[in-house]
Amino acid sequence: MADVLGRTVLHRDRYARVWGLGDRKAAAAMTPTLVLMEDDPSLPLAYAAFTTSSTSSLPSTLSVGSRGAFSPPEFQENSPHYSVNLGHVLPPSLEDANAGEEQGTSSLLPVSWQRMNHDEGLTDATLAPEIVVLTDALQLASQPGKLPLALLTLKHRFPGALLWTPGLGGPDNVGVLASMGVDVFDLARCREAEANGVLLTAMGPRLPLQHEETSLEAQAYHFMKALDEVRSSVEHGTLRGLAEKQSLSSPRLVEHLRRHQALMCEREGNLASHHPATTEFPCYSSSALVDPLVEDWERFMTHDYEAPEKVRDVMIFLPCSARKPYRLSKSHGQFFRAIASTGCHEVMMTSPLGLVPRDLEDVWPAANYDVPVTGDWSSDELARVRRMLTSLVERFGYKRIINHTNMDLDFLDIDVVDTRHGQGATHFDALQRLSESVKAAVADFGLRNQKNNQRLKEHFMSIARKTTGTDAWLGQLSVRGKLPRWRLEHNGTQMAVWSIDRNGFSFSRAAIDWLHEHNALPTVHLKDDAAWRGDVFSQMVERFDASIRLGDDLRILQNGEVVGLARAVAHGWEWGGTPGTLAKSHQRKKKG
């Protein structure tokens, strides 16, 4: 196994990953990392895991060697080492021409834009490189849309490989490129900065101060600090914010990031369905409006969301609150007392998500986003609310909206009662009008209060439709217990509990067959001869649902039968060949 690169994912954030290199129990180095060229300073192994060289003779050969002990099982120093024919290809602008010298195929896989468009060998299912080199990344970066498309295509095709974009990375863009899936970088741009007397920093190139140097060693120091920032951001789920900051140093970086996000919206299995209750989704700038997670929320609310059937006559349209979930806030406590009815559908207006119904206020990202509260709304924010509100009204046929926001709802062809009259949402008179409007609606439409357990069940069914794909498994269950540990039972048998720690369901062993019977949860089919004793690894998997999201509960099948449940720790795009754990065993059926 001398040519195998031992690696396992330590942390992940969408397409960015921190790989541990070497022994998975005690990694010798991690990514994102540098590959050192000849005459580069000898940086610590923790920041520079590889060396590289190439021949000038034709055909040119590219070599990449390890600076640490990365090859299992012996883990000898400076292993593995790879060499491959680079070939000669036409520039990306001549993508329609299938010409040039063929590039080699090995554990070190050089790929160009031309090769991606013409080499059918890349579709060979047995092809599993250790490192993929996008050889013309620098040229692709100058052509609109090509770099993000190339990177995303390679990540989905070779999810288990490290990705290197020669000549493209620097401390000023490592966060952006890492968010797009790049794992390996070099000092080529740092050399260029040195030659021009410019200091390349994490926030962009700048002229040095009097006490600063622009030597390659100084440039490398800034690169190492930038790698630390990226690694920490991936570990703590904040890379999106770092990438956004870095992108502002260059219009081209903004373009790359926006196009990458647009491509994410078109692909499955790159978002999370659950996060711990302590995780925040920061929405501090207008860029959050185009984040794939926000776009996905709007798509769900517009096309897939189903409002609880018993509250579809009257909607109470409310402002959000800084505290999440909203019901725990002081303002919503006042709203509850004024409304004093469970016969209406409460929907909150918020940015950047647009709308959050009361029955989904506990799920990701509605329970976790953090946005500055200014009271000012941009045209884009209002447009999203209009789109979503129009969809809800058209699909569910509300007969009246009690509007306790300051938004003008004249665009809706429906009876709207304004309760604010320009006053604050918690103003005494506004709350009084809210109370009177709800009482009038109750009388006009014969609305009835729901018992607490029935209302909770409706909310859990709404959550189930969002997170498990169906609410059918909940139909015959009863809600028992008390806050915060609600139990879902069938004839006295516990099927699930509501976990406030992960804002999701936690299923019991008894639920395995029950969920399978109702076709709930994404599925993973293990190979017939695979021995499933603990975690789920890629070599055990026969096929899987490509839409798997990080945090999803999964139904595990083998030999045509359901054998247990697991929880995804990897996105769906990674399941086609990423080494290491893809899902953690959650519940397994007893044998015999």
- Residue 465 scores a pLDDT above 50: yes
pLDDT, tens digit (0-9, with 9 covering 90-100), for 100-113: 556 778 899 999 99
pLDDT at 236: 92
Does residue 399 belong to any structural domain of this protein?
yes
For the chain, give the mean pLDDT. Answer: 92
pLDDT, tens digit (0-9, with 9 covering 90-100), for 23-45: 888 899 999 999 999 999 999 99
The rounded distance, in Å, linking the Cα atoms of 395 and 299 is 14
The rounded distance, in Å, linking the Cα atoms of 535 and 517 is 24
Cα dist. 260→147, 180, 267, 449, 549 in Å?
9, 7, 11, 47, 18
Average pLDDT over residues 391-418: 95
One domain, residues 229 and 325? no
Q: What is the CATH number of the domain that holds 497?
A: 3.10.400.20
One domain, residues 292 and 357? yes
> For residue 99, how many other CB atoms are within 10 A of its CB?
10
Token representation of residue 153: 């295509």
pLDDT at 352: 93
- Residue 580 scores a pLDDT above 80: yes
pTM of the predicted model, to two decimals?
A: 0.91
- Residue 528 scores a pLDDT above 50: yes
Does residue 370 belong to any structural domain of this protein?
yes
One domain, residues 413 and 509? no
Does residue 454 belong to any structural domain of this protein?
no
Domain that includes residue 581, residue range: 469-588
Does residue 456 belong to any structural domain of this protein?
no
pLDDT at 1: 47
One domain, residues 354 and 496? no
Listed residue (27, 28, 36) closest to 63, CA to CA? 36
The rounded distance, in Å, linking the Cα atoms of 308 and 432 is 27
One domain, residues 219 and 362? no
pLDDT, tens digit (0-9, with 9 covering 90-100), for 295-321: 999 999 999 999 999 999 999 999 999
Does residue 464 belong to any structural domain of this protein?
no
Does residue 505 belong to any structural domain of this protein?
yes
Cα dist. 164→3, 111, 127, 155, 157 in Å?
18, 10, 18, 11, 15
The rounded distance, in Å, linking the Cα atoms of 234 and 222 is 19
The rounded distance, in Å, linking the Cα atoms of 141 and 494 is 55
Does residue 16 belong to any structural domain of this protein?
yes
Average pLDDT over residues 422-441: 96
Which residues, 6 or more positions from 472, have their beta carbon under 8 angstroms from its beta carbon?
A: 518, 519, 520
Helices (H), 237-329: 239-247, 251-266, 292-299
One domain, residues 495 and 437? no
Q: What is the CATH number of the domain that holds 413?
A: 3.40.50.10630
Number of domains in the chain: 3
One domain, residues 425 and 478? no
pLDDT at 79: 85
Token representation of residue 3: 């040519």
Average pLDDT over residues 545-569: 95
Contact 454, 350 (CB under 8 A): no
One domain, residues 240 and 329? no
- Residue 92 scores a pLDDT above 80: no
Query: Of 234, 266, 298, which residue constitutes the final position of a domain?
Result: 266
Listed residue (92, 103, 151) closest to 127, CA to CA? 103
One domain, residues 558 and 520? yes
The rounded distance, in Å, linking the Cα atoms of 357 and 44 is 51
Helices H / strands E in the chain, number of each: 14, 32
Match 């009259």 to its residue by tokens: 421
At 384, the pLDDT band (50, 70, 90 cuts) reads very high
String of b and e for 394-417 (b: at least 16 CB within 10 Å)? eebebebbbbbbbbebeebeeeeb
One domain, residues 314 and 410? yes
Does residue 455 belong to any structural domain of this protein?
no
One domain, residues 336 and 385? yes
- Residue 5 scores a pLDDT above 50: yes
Average pLDDT over residues 149-156: 97
One domain, residues 51 and 176? yes
Token representation of residue 229: 């920032």
Q: What angle do CA 245, 250, 256 make, to 5 degrees?
A: 85
pLDDT at 14: 95
Listed residue (351, 356, 343) closest to 301, CA to CA? 356
- Residue 229 scores a pLDDT above 70: yes
Lowest mean pLDDT among 271-280, 393-402, 411-420, 501-510: 271-280
Average pLDDT over residues 454-482: 94
